[in-house]
Structure 1
Amino acid sequence: MASARRSVPSFVQLAAHPVRWQLLTMLSGSDHRVREMVSLIGEPQNLISYHLRLLRDGGLVRATRSSFDGRDSYYHLDLDRCTEMLAGAGAALHPALGRTLAPPRPSPAPAPVLFVCTGNSARSAIAEALLRWRTDGVVEAISAGTRPKPDMHPDTVRVLREEFGIDLGDRRPRHLDALAGRRFGTVVTLCDKAREVCPEFGDDDTRRIHWSIPDPAAAGGADEDTYPAFRATATEIDTRIGYLIATLTTPTMTGSIR
């Protein structure tokens, strides 16, 4: 008796097309704008936009409006959703393939990681603290700003203390100029404006990654008004940090560009 025909899992359907697979691979390393993906993949913009729409409809890719140029958008791969859908696809083939594995911890210690945003009072400072915390200090994490604020935002201090048990102590924002001459294995920009002006650090082997994350302090207002945005931002950064750790000892990923 013939076995019942089973539908192809959604992830397999979405990822099987060569262009969509290239997009997924590229976005796994960094957030990108459409014109960058057009240049890197070498396909027409209308074709890239069509496949991005399918990936967005499938829940694998999200878009955020650029804080540098509001007419533009950055695309981001939802790795949590990919993990979930990959586990589902594996389970559809065999129950033993439905398990998900925790990302490995880097060993030996990789080259230092630099996080950059504009003010170094929120996003990059949160990323620095979380990477150091997640790796028990095995990874040297540093952050700086292109136009640093005088002090850490109170909600940065609060969210790290209340949500993760991290005490920033007397940490103050740092200017990128203070790191002139340093070399980093990975440079992560978390601000669209900072990405446009971030100088070169390291050499051709330095991995450059962009995370398009809105400034949680942009709306202003009292702490009780802004704290939910800081908590959401810290959660997103922590998720990205978890996936970043797994890549720190691997070769530079495709699509890592300015």
Structure 2
Amino acid sequence: MNTRPLSPDVAPPAFLQLAGHPLRWRLLSELARSDRLVQELAGLVGEAQNLVSYHLGKLRDGRLVNARRSSADRRDTYYGLDLVRIGALLSVAGGALHPGLRLAPPQRDDALVGAKVLFLCTGNSARSQMAEALARALSGGAIEAVSAGSHPKALHPNAVRVMAEDYGLDIAGQASKSLDLFEGERFDWVISLCDRVREVCPEFPDRPEVVHWSIPNPATGEPDDVTYPLFRDTAAELSTRIGFLIADMAARDPKEIP
């Protein structure tokens, strides 16, 4: 029987050392729910803003957290998680302990059926329209997804093109809708994709889960052939985030859903 002890030099993976700090873990937990400003994070964790900024810097250096300037106020910065990288690092950490460990969150398909999600951006011409289509498609139609804008305008042709060419989804028939149309309606999740619309988002009945994803507008005003790669990047980010959203929703007990 082999009873040889492990080398004393065996150390936990760097990811665990970085993320395992109690305050950094609390910051990661908050950012797993929604993109946040540093002052919001300081309030949520009850710590001084300079201390929170220091630990956010550590998480950014480890590429667990990313930062984007707010499109509503360029003096502000939104922080968010790199969920794909964190998932990969968690798998590596588990494998370092035992190769049989697997990341397999419990799935409850009944938690998805009939869930209502509202995606918001300013123009309802690109980001929120693509998110609406992706949420329906990636959930197999279980999620009732709709979208709206604070200042709606015509559906952008690049949004239609990206959805058709990269995801096989036809959104040409989707119409832009005003946020006012949905005031007073009940949703399970309300997700803002635009920093500006977040600041004017009304309250909805029954306290839905309110989430913000700070995603730049791919419609920069340049010619369509120039901005098309930006639309592809935006769609890819939305697909990733919505995939994680669906996993979150499916792992919840129906009693936990707003």
TM-score (normalised: structure 2):
0.92
Equivalent residue number for residue 182 of structure 1 = 185
What is the one-letter code of the residue matched to 1:241?
I
Superposed displacement of residue 10, structure 1: 1.6
What is the one-letter code of the residue matched to 2:167?
F
**Matches of 1:49 and 1:252, distance apart in 2:** 32
Equivalent residue number for residue 244 of structure 1 = 245
Residues 190 and 211 in structure 2, CA contact (< 8 A), matched pair in contact too: yes
**Matches of 1:201 and 1:178, distance apart in 2:** 12
Equivalent residue number for residue 18 of structure 1 = 22
* Structure 1 residues not aligned, in runs of 5+: 254-258
The answer to whether residue 110 in structure 2 is matched with residue 94 in structure 1 is no
Residues 188 and 209 in structure 1, CA contact (< 8 A), matched pair in contact too: yes
RMSD of aligned C-alpha atoms?
A: 1.6
Structure 2 CA distance for partners of 1:134 and 1:37, relative to 1, 3 Å: same
Superposed displacement of residue 167, structure 1: 0.4
Structure 2 CA distance for partners of 1:178 and 1:71, relative to 1, 3 Å: same
Secondary structure class of the residue paired with 1:171: coil
Could you give the per-residue CA deviations for residues 149-200 of structure 1, whole angstroms, max 9, x where no partner exists? 1x20000000000000000132121001111321000000000000000111
Correspondent of 2:155 among 152, 155, 168: 152
Equivalent residue number for residue 142 of structure 1 = 146
Equivalent residue number for residue 125 of structure 2 = 121
Correspondent of 1:69 among 69, 73, 97: 73
**Matches of 2:110 and 2:242, distance apart in 1:** 16
Percent of counterpart pairs with the same letter? Answer: 52
Correspondent of 1:212 among 190, 193, 214: 214
Residues 129 and 174 in structure 2, CA contact (< 8 A), matched pair in contact too: no
**Matches of 2:10 and 2:181, distance apart in 1:** 59
What is the one-letter code of the residue matched to 1:106?
D
Residues 106 and 245 in structure 1, CA contact (< 8 A), matched pair in contact too: no
**Matches of 2:89 and 2:114, distance apart in 1:** 30
* Structure 2 residues not aligned, in runs of 5+: none
Residues 38 and 45 in structure 1, CA contact (< 8 A), matched pair in contact too: yes
TM-score (normalised: structure 1):
0.92
Correspondent of 2:200 among 171, 182, 197: 197
Equivalent residue number for residue 168 of structure 1 = 171
Structure 2 CA distance for partners of 1:244 and 1:27, relative to 1, 3 Å: same
Residues 103 and 242 in structure 1, CA contact (< 8 A), matched pair in contact too: no
| Alignment size in residue pairs | 249
Superposed displacement of residue 16, structure 1: 1.3
Secondary structure class of the residue paired with 2:27: helix
